[in-house]
Structure 1
Amino acid sequence: MKKSFKIAMLTMLVSMIALAGCGAKGSKEDEASAGGTTEDGKLKPYKITLVYPGTAQKDLAVVQEEMSKYLTEKINATIELKPIEWGSWDDKTNLMKISNEPFDLMFTASWYYYPRDAAKGQYLELDDLMNQYGKDIPDVLGPDFIKGSRIGGKLYALPTKKEFGQSFGLLLSKKLVDKYKFDVNGIKSIEEVEKMLGTIKANEPGVTPIISRKFTNVWEAANYDNIIAHIAVARGSKEIKAIDKLEDPKYIDFYKRMNVWYKNGWFDKDILTSDTDQAMNMIKAGKGFAVASSLKPGKDKEMSLTSGTEVVQMETAAPFTTTGDAQGAMLGISRTSEDPARAMMFLNLLYTDKKLLNMLDWGVEGKHYVKKSENVIDFPEGVNADTQAYPSPGGWMFGNQFNAYLWANEDPQKWEQFQKLNDSSERSIILGFAFNQEPVKAEMAAIENVNKEFEASLGTGAVDAEKTIAKWKEKRDAAGFAKVKAEVDKQLQEWAAAQK
């Protein structure tokens, strides 16, 4: 009894502390809603903390200092750039969240816990803050980006303005494309792809036609707006209706075809574990021909630069935009921010102020890059990609990518091509829908374990598709699939009704 009483008292004490913290936080938000101003209406000094995945660069402090000088002039703020290694991201950011560590902005994405963290209240709702302190952002992003970023009709993070959707296809060895005079223009059917792979197999005995099982991922992303647990809305659907992909004849036929590819010897021997890096290394060594990839304008140029071998891209499906694409890279304002208004002012600058964005993306002009023209940059004399002291943290994570300078080896029309992709990309009929897993989280955990048993082997093409899918469905049904499907249907109907 004494032990139970102590536990109960401890639980009550923790709850009281949490409630007290919430009360204190509310007062901070009240102060921040006024922009953190003094009695005479001036902004108080404030340090903004930006948390994002990446490796801390040698000159991080140098860039941080220059950004702080600029931000002090603009919004009386300094900044702490806080990159966290990808491998440590989950552990370190989870600790920051559960310990209520104060910070202002954090990278998030549909594929990196945005829906989960939004449901848990980790990020503040942004509409009111944006209307007051980020008034330029809606015009920069446009309605589709904002619509696609909402969860339950509410906005908890702001997306990077970059490619809105993705096209799909292959990165191919330029050397072999030129040798066999392959036509890589236009959208190629799967039959045309097969002719190329067959040619390589027949004539290049030391070359693997296609590396990794990424082609199956790319094909699925091009043909379905995936919701969860292989429940999806088929691309081109005219009605808001979810299907079970494992019962879709198109899906089954595709994996039958992958089994043929496997029997033809077109895949690499490490297909279960091989990735893009391994594929690019094999292409560079003259031992590989193709790897599947989501595509965007200039993707082949970027990959050629980073890998040290020339590749060309070839589309196998036209651009498609899903909620996941709209939420592909975002910044959310933490519930622990001590001045959310100042954080929103900073975001507004990231979308509109070219000088600030390019400092974050590329460093200090004259030290980390030099301008070749108004929007084109290159390394300073004596510096190259291997010796630079501020490698980009990843411009795709921040603000308005269309304001980023281009490097001398990039296509000068890159951003115009991005805009063309954005304008032409087919929008999913459920753009903006995000599934809340909470009502079926127990079933989802069981289904995920079942999926792990079958997904990988099916993606390699090494198994009989029909037999494997039949066994998969049987085990998945026993794990509670019907309840998950019913919950998806329910939430879709509610979302559709709210869209009017």
Structure 2
Amino acid sequence: MARHKLKQSGAVLLAAAMAAAAAGCGGSSGDKPAADNGQEAAPKLTNLTYWVQAVSQVTATMKSYNEIEAYKELERVTGVKVDFQHPPQGQQATEQFNLMMTSDKLPDVIEYSWTGYPGGPEKAIKDGKIVKLNDLIDKYAPNFKKVLADHPDWKKEMMTDEGSIYGLPFIRSHEQLKVFLGPTIRKDWLDKLGLQLPTTIDEWYAVLKAFKERDPNGNGKPDEIPLYLAKGDVDTSTAFLGAFGINAGFYQEGGKVKYGPTDPKFKEFLTLMNKWYKEGLLDKDFATTDAKMLEAKITGGQIGSAVLYTGSGIGKYATLMKDKDKNFRLVAAPYPVLNKGDKQIWGYKDFSVAPTSAAISTSNKNPIETIKWLDYGYSEQGTLLFNFGKEGVSYTMQNGKPTFKPEVMNDPTGLPLIQSMSKHNRATFSGPFMLDIRFDEQYTNSPDQLESKKIWAAPTLEKKMPRTTPTKEESSRYASIMADINTYKDEMYLKFIMGAEPLDNFDKYVKTIQGMGLDEALKIQQSALERYAKR
């Protein structure tokens, strides 16, 4: 197991130190809690504001992360009270973040994908928005410091080219934890129609045609949606596009950076998607369908295939449909290739270090106490807390292994496992801690979920770019170029597939992107790739 173990005694000492620090901290504080068993009252609470986008599995049952059992326990252990600030989900969160960053008064902790800050995380430091954490980690975060020392490859992923550490991230501590997204398909529909699991583009076409024409949901209506494939699915997982050997952004071949959306093979992909769209094989509303609408279509027996997660896809829908349709079975399908025997190059395998990390803002008046509080998540006790919740409430130790209680694994009210667990921990999504393989062994425990990880792990991802960052000098120019390119590219992507723009205009589209400064962006990425290699 590649998981990093930390001493429990260190965590206990840390909690005691933090409680003492909280007592003398200059931040705002609440009332003293009542004393227990005649002992001296606990110290005043340090108050922190924490900005983070709430995920759907939490908002399904709770209003705030403050209601998660792990954070209730963390407050009790550390004496730090946190006021979570949750922006709206989706694009509105990005808009609120951008607006927030123009202010001189920021939340104390901001959990965000800092590679998305205009110019990257180093620019956020130079702009005076967030704190460079290297010295604070060295002096006050012994657990996280040890993680960095033991895993230089992880450290390389989470630092800028200048060597700055800008946030404490979500870390996938085992190879198996990096694979959790890919194409899924209704196996019961395949079985009903006598079809095999598709592996090539042509096989997928034949299956989707059969889903469209042969009434696999058995209601006598032509209401099947053979494939739901949103633009984000293509961008993130390269589903179907990867069969053409490229991705939807920058990639590298032999150390040279290239850009997929202007490659002639991207036109081949668009041509295929346009054909499938015209034939009704793609969801006609793929450009506007949100998560709730997608769920309604899947549970309504309409969608035959989609790009989904292991837990919140295969696992969630198995739970939601077990009483509604006893035949329902959603399984992983291989990332398709063009020809039988072709090597699977593109798929989805995440980095060990997630792009989202908890940064300390320059408005924070208590950075030392804050880094100690964040560091707790990387201790042995913190790892247990964020992965499993509070001992005795959501899990017990059995033969030395944290084991979720039956009422969590099978919620008595019928909640999907992802929602049941999310009432107690943060391991079903992200946060400043290390994901534990022992959690995943219980979270994705059905045969179909376990098989999905094997199927989706096949692509080599040999062309994938590491998580590079531009320099301060490059950042604003790169951000400006790519903002224009991405807006235009996304608009044309929809037009080409939906037929609003003839594919004969692809060369014109390429020239337009080149005229927006693509060559300059490629040079910046090339320099960034070379700098990354020297980190």
TM-score, structure 2 as length reference: 0.67
Q: Which residue of 1 aligns with 2:238?
A: 219
Which AA in structure 1 matches 2:436? F
From 208, 219, 224, give the equivalent of 1:207.
224
1: CA distance between counterparts of 2:165 and 2:84?
Answer: 24
Identity between Structure 1 and Structure 2 (%): 17
> How far apart in 2 are the matches of 1:446 and 1:310?
42
2:516 aligns with: 479
1:137 corresponds to which letter in structure 2? Answer: F
Q: Where in structure 2 are the equivalents of 1:300-339 lying within 5 Å?
A: 300-305=314-319, 310-316=329-335, 320-321=348-349, 326-339=353-366
Q: Give the secondary structure class of the aligned counterpart of 2:304.
A: strand
> What's 1:375 paired with?
403
* Aligned 1:30-429 pairs, distance under 5 A: 46-54=46-54, 55=59, 57=63, 60=66, 63=69, 65-72=72-79, 77-86=80-89, 89-90=93-94, 93-94=97-98, 96-101=100-105, 103-109=107-113, 113=117, 116=120, 118-121=122-125, 122-137=129-144, 140=147, 142-152=151-161, 153-162=163-172, 165-166=178-179, 169-180=182-193, 182-184=195-197, 188-204=199-215, 205-214=222-231, 216-217=234-235, 218-219=237-238, 232-234=250-252, 237=253, 239-293=254-308, 295-296=309-310, 299-305=313-319, 310-316=329-335, 320-321=348-349, 326-354=353-381, 356=382, 369=394, 374-379=402-407, 383-385=413-415, 391=423, 394-395=426-427, 396-398=429-431, 399-402=433-436, 410-411=444-445, 426=461
Distance of 2:462 and 2:114 partners within structure 1: 17
Contact 1:245 1:251 in 2 (8 A): yes
Q: Whole-Å Cα distance in 2 between the matches of residues 482 and 431 of structure 1?
A: 20
Aligned to 2:171, the other structure's residue is in SS state coil
Q: Report the residue type matching 1:255 in the other structure.
A: L
CA distance in 1, matches of 2:357, 2:476: 22
1:202-233 deviations in Å (ceiling 9; x for gaps):
3224322112434543326857897xxx6512
Q: Within 1, Cα distance between the matches of 2:484 and 2:300?
A: 42
Q: Letter of the aligned partner of 1:50 in structure 2?
A: Y
- CA offset digits 1:130-177 (Å, max 9, x no partner): 333333336657333332222224221232123764465322234314
Change (3 A) 1:427 1:320: farther
Specify whether residues 371 and 193 from structure 1 end up closer, same or farther in structure 2 by C-alpha distance, changes over 3 A only.
Answer: farther
Matched, 1:434 2:440: no
Q: Distance in 2 between matches of 1:112 and 1:430?
A: 16
- Following TM superposition, by how much is the alpha carbon of 1:454 offset from its aligned partner in structure 2, in angstroms? 0.6
Change in CA separation of 1:290 and 1:181 when aligned onto 2, cut-off 3 Å: same
> How many aligned positions are there?
446
Structure 1 residue 459: deviation in Å?
4.6
CA–CA separation in structure 2 for the residues paired with 1:198 and 1:493: 46
In terms of fraction of residues, the more strand-rich structure is 1
| Contact 2:396–2:405 (8 Å) recurs in 1 | yes
Instruction: Give CA-to-partner distance per residue, 1:441-482, whole Å, 9 cap, x none.
Output: 4444443443243122235577554x2321212322333334
Shift of 1:261: 2.0
Question: Structure 2 counterpart of 1:175, which letter?
Answer: D
Q: In the alignment, residue 281 of structure 2 is paired with which amino acid?
A: W
Q: Structure 1: which 5+ residue stretches go unaligned?
A: 1-31
Most deviating of 441-450 and 260-269 = 441-450
TM-score, normalised via structure 1 length: 0.71
Structure 2, unmatched stretches of 5+, are: 1-17, 26-42, 216-221, 323-327, 336-343
How has the CA–CA distance of structure 1 residues 440 and 283 changed in structure 2, closer, same or farther, with 3 Å as cutoff? closer
What one-letter code is carried by the residue in structure 2 that aligns with 1:232? F
What is the deviation of 1:266? Answer: 1.0
Q: 1:151 to 1:423 in 2, by over 3 A?
A: farther
Query: What CA distance in whole angstroms lies between the structure 1 residues aligned with 2:156 and 2:457?
Result: 15
Could you report, residue by residue, the CA deviation over 1:182-209 in whole angstroms, capped at 9, with x for unpaired residues? 555xx93333323322332332243221
Deviation string for 1:234-254 (max 9, x for gaps)?
Answer: 4xx2x2212232442432322
Give the superposition deviation at 1:322: 6.5
Distance of 2:456 and 2:46 partners within structure 1: 39
Cα distance between partner residues in 2 of 1:60 and 1:190: 46
Q: Distance in 2 between matches of 1:129 and 1:429?
A: 33
The answer to whether the 8 Å contact 1:279/1:291 transfers is: no
The separation in 2 between residues aligned to 1:197 and 1:452, in whole angstroms, is: 25
